[in-house]
Amino acid sequence: MENQNTNTKKYLELNGRKFVLVGTAHVSQQSIEEVKSSIEQESPECVAIELDEGRLKTLKDKESWRKTDVVQILKKKMGFLMLANIVLSAYQKRMGVPAGVQPGEEMMAAITKAEELNIPTAMVDRPIVTTLRRAWSKNSFFGKCKLLGILAATAFVKDDVEPEQIEKLKQESEMDSMMNEVSEYLPSVKEVLIDERDKYLASHIWECKGDKVLAVLGAGHLNGVQKHLEAIAASQESSDCSQISEIPPKSKASKVAAWIIPALIVALIVSAFVWGGVEAGKKGVASWILWNGLLAGAGAVLALGNPITILVAALSAPVTSLCPFMGVGIVAGLVQAMICKPRISDMESLQDDAVGLKGFYRNRILRVLLVFLLTSIGSTIGTFAAGATLVAGITSFFDKIVNSVKSLFN
């Protein structure tokens, strides 16, 4: 077994089979040319592509965004997943503008060249929905906050990226540095986005038919995919990756946790009535309604939601915060979508508008998702603020009792 490497290619001979791994930067003109020339020169029996069937369909069907039904997306509780997918796609698109390249062009170039030469292709990446859901579910509360922060920075911070910088993404030292930063800041996300997908990609590349397989991958996956292919060939690991192909079900602990905060809030309000009297109880209820309603409404205002949406967010937040089944973001988002119905032009310009902050406010689909996100964040902050206020009120009540008792003995 003799393995050879270059900056953008890895040549592997494993168990009598040959694998050529071609590393790309997803918005690089040079990568497009290198992918096409590699397929011509290597003449593989199969070309493996770092795409899943869903993304392939989107790349082939330029009108797919017109079919976006934001109402159904919110009802299925996929608002955050759609928002994350749009933001990441828009970021890649923004990076490709200086080079005049659209995200995924090198993958489509590989498919087109393979079809010209009558070479079979295989889509070997994990579905994006599965990847995003696993990344979300594996994060702690603070990890989720960090992830939201990264998405916000990705969506609203504009940096000019030169073509030369894009080409650096194919160099191992540059990519290793980036992966180390991600690993330190969000290790669970790096595990899902990189490590798990390295194994998934390697497993499906291994299962491709033919004695010579050429795989077109993002440069960041080259080392990991090589490692897993060599481990599979040496029978050190199985090519079965069913465990990382599914969305992990919610654990019993997380299901119970979804009820803990509402139960604690109700218990605190009841305690205020029992120990503090009617007035204290009323203050507790008022505190809960005000904190939740005001901050959820403030989120809708920040999203420039319709006045009715703002009112609905403010009124529904105190109730939805006590119900794990339906969040205020879904309610407010649905109201915004029904009042300001997305137009065909919004669907056509969805990816272009997602490139900058102004586009999020201009595009009605993105505005709905912004309402969903900001009202959810507002209500979450309101829940903790109201809970802290209730605890402070009860603590103050007991302090008064203690002080009264002490005064009796003085």
3-state SS, residue 396 = helix
pLDDT score, position 111: 93
pLDDT tens per residue across all 410 residues of the chain = 445 555 678 999 999 999 999 988 755 678 888 899 999 999 999 999 998 888 888 777 766 655 666 777 777 777 767 777 676 666 555 544 433 445 678 888 999 999 999 999 999 999 888 887 887 777 776 666 666 666 666 555 555 545 554 444 445 444 444 455 555 666 777 788 888 999 999 999 999 999 999 999 988 889 899 999 999 999 999 889 888 888 777 667 666 767 777 888 888 788 777 776 777 778 888 888 999 999 999 999 999 999 999 999 999 999 988 877 778 888 999 999 889 888 767 776 776 777 677 888 888 888 888 898 899 989 989 888 887 877 776 666 555 555 555 565 55
3-state SS, residue 281 = helix
pLDDT score, position 101: 44
pLDDT score, position 405: 54
Give the pairing type, strands 9-14 and 17-24: antiparallel
Q: Where are the beta strands (DSSP E) in 51-135?
A: 121-123
Q: Do 95 and 362 touch, CB atoms closer than 8 A?
A: no
pLDDT score, position 47: 96
> In the numeric block, which tokens belong to residue 29?
């003109």
Alpha carbon 158 to chain centroid, angstroms: 19
pLDDT score, position 227: 94
pLDDT score, position 131: 84
Q: Do 269 and 331 touch, CB atoms closer than 8 A?
A: no
Instruction: Tell me how far apart the alpha carbons of residues 371 and 141 are, in angstroms, rounded to a whole number.
Output: 21
> In the numeric block, which tokens belong to residue 302?
């920040």
Residues 359-395: b if buried by 16+ CB within 10 A, e if exposed? bbeebbbbbbbbbbbbbbbbbbbbbebbbebbeebbe
pLDDT score, position 99: 38
Per-position DSSP letters for 327-339, written without gaps between them: -HHHHHHHHHHHH
Instruction: Tell me how far apart the alpha carbons of residues 231 and 332 are, in angstroms, rounded to a whole number.
Output: 50
Within 13 A of 349's CA, how many CA atoms are on the CB side? Answer: 15
pLDDT score, position 1: 41
Nearest Cα residue to 83 out of 384, 363, 344: 363
Instruction: Tell me how far apart the alpha carbons of residues 370 and 373 are, in angstroms, rounded to a whole number.
Output: 5
Other CB atoms closer than 10 Å to residue 86's CB: what's the count? Answer: 23
